[in-house]
Amino acid sequence: MSRPFTAADLRRWEAHAVPAWVYKGVLLAGWGFAFGYAITTPTTCTSAAPCHPDAWLSVVAAALLATPVLLWREPVLGCALGAGFGLVEMMSEADEGIRLAFGLHGLACALVALWLVEARRAQHRVVGPISAPVRVPRATPVRFTGRTVVALLMLLVGVLALVKYLVDATELDEHTVAAVRVGGTVTAVGEHDVTVRLPSSQRTFDVLSTEGYAVGADVPVRVDGGWAELVAEPRDVTFPLTVMAVSLGMAAFLRLRDLAGRRAWQRVFAGPSPAVEVLVRADQRGRAVLHTVDGRPFASVPVSRPFEDDRMLAVGDLSHGGWVVLSGPDGVLLPTRPLRAGHRELPRSDGPGEELLGVALEVPPLPYPVPPLRRDVVAGRWLFAAALFLVVGATTVDGPVVLTALWTAGTCVLAGWVRARPSAVFHRDGASVRSWLRTYRVPWSAVTSIRRDGDRLVLELESGARFTLAPSRRPVAELGALARRLHDLAPARDDDVTTRFGGVLPVVLCFAIAAGAVLWLT
């Protein structure tokens, strides 16, 4: 019998955890300082010492761009990338200030990475004496179809980016071989470009820094018909390599995470594994929030299916970033992501909420989409507008800013779609309940309880599964009465809950096509 995980155990477990402000605050601020210093340091390019593009640096720049995201979501991997990029900069960067900034940040990342690894080992030492080996019945493995599709899309983007680089590099080599060197005169100096008068035309060139140029100065230019480039600053076509590295890195990360999850399940199913008893409750997003047996939340993990709040066994690696399988009276819950430490108190009682017994006298035309809150609709529209603005803006800029703009635009599209759409659609024989990735078809005949949870409607099934709808513009009592009426009118059939992909994949695919077009054209 496993020993309950108590508040006293939690104090010792948390004592070894790395405070979140270390990697989410100090390291992120250090990255921002180093990155800001690097992009604001003036670069002087001359015909005697031209600024040649570096293809390998463009590939390594993917680690620089991924570091702040991973520091927030996957601190160990983020620290590893930050340390690796700092080492590369120390070995290759010519500017002493930039080399020092990223070198110090890389050193700090390396130290925090070691701290995080040692903290996990210390948490293992805390859980070890209080755990007991248990056997978990084998469960049906989760299919990470959504993440697989995203990984394939990222792989496609990476391949297209590589093709674009090869095409642009070949075209650039052909122009460079055929070009002739001519003299030009600077006629205007802008904020990020200079205008040069050539013998037969006038051209504007984007430059890294305008400090080395002055109106009236003579600059050498390579010309091949309608193509031209400054000798001091050869044209840079290596940006697609950064896109390629980011896309392939994301695809590899998603696949490796899936493999890590499957291996963790196999280790638990293969034989006795250490387990402690915890209280598990679902938050509003359906994640399993782990509590001590006396009710203190300390971690959360997304799981494979809906569940009912109860005491369960946390089996496996109970540490920050570990994979934990939850075994309870109603079966086994498989994690879809690693455990994340820290969670606020859930804004709900331990009970299932108030039973809604009212019955609607009239049923609106079916199917009936549950109307989202007005503020969610407005927020969704603003998020879509922000995404459109960012995509259009991405076509007017160059360099890593394009990736940042497109990543933010994609986040806005997904968040706007989730917030503005109905969380469920009522049909005559069941309800289609939507999550951000999947749509669950819940037959009314399988629903045993219709309850209120604050301003949310909860449908409970005989299996113990629970589906919580998002707050609606329609009062929850009226919505519950309508659900009760449809439940009473539905034919009594022995139907199971079915699931399919929701509308997120077409949305993500459309945005991926738009983002790919922007990257191809810029």
Residue at token pair 């949310």: 456
Give the tokens for residue 47.
Answer: 């015909």
Q: Are 444 and 429 in contact (CB under 8 A)?
A: yes
pLDDT tens string 119-148: 999 999 989 888 888 888 887 777 777 788
Q: Which residues of the chain have pLDDT under 50?
A: 348-352
Looking at residue 447, the DSSP 8-state letter turns out to be: E
Is-contact 449 352, C-beta < 8 A?
Answer: yes
For residue 351, what pLDDT is reported?
A: 46
Instruction: Tell me the C-alpha distance between 367 and 491, whole Å.
Output: 17
Residues 6+ positions from 27 with CB-CB distance below 8 Å: 71, 78, 79, 82, 105, 108, 109, 112
SS3 263: helix
Predicted local distance difference test score (pLDDT) of residue 505: 67
Task: Provide the pLDDT for residue 367.
Answer: 86
Residue 58 token pair: 């463009």
Give the largest Cα separation in the chain, rounded.
88
Which ranges in 362-503 belong to alpha helices (H)?
374-394, 400-420, 476-489
Q: What is the pLDDT of residues 320-354, one digit of tens each?
A: 889 999 988 878 888 988 998 876 665 544 444 55
Neighbours of 200 (CB within 10 A): 7
- DSSP structure class, residue 335: B
Can you read off the two tokens belonging to residue 498?
A: 């079915």
DSSP for 51-117, please give it: ----HHHHHHHHHHHHHHHHHHH-HHHHHHHHHHHHHHHHHH---HHHHHHHHHHHHHHHHHHHHHH
Rounded CA-CA distance 234/52 in Å is 6
Q: Are 86 and 103 in contact (CB under 8 A)?
A: yes
What's the pLDDT score for residue 349?
44
Distances in whole angstroms, Cα of residue 286 to Cα of each of 258, 292, 307, 315, 458: 20, 19, 8, 20, 12
Please state the φ and ψ torsions of residue 240, each to the nearest 5 degrees: -55, -25
Instruction: Name the strand (E) or helix (H) holding 174.
Output: helix 145-178
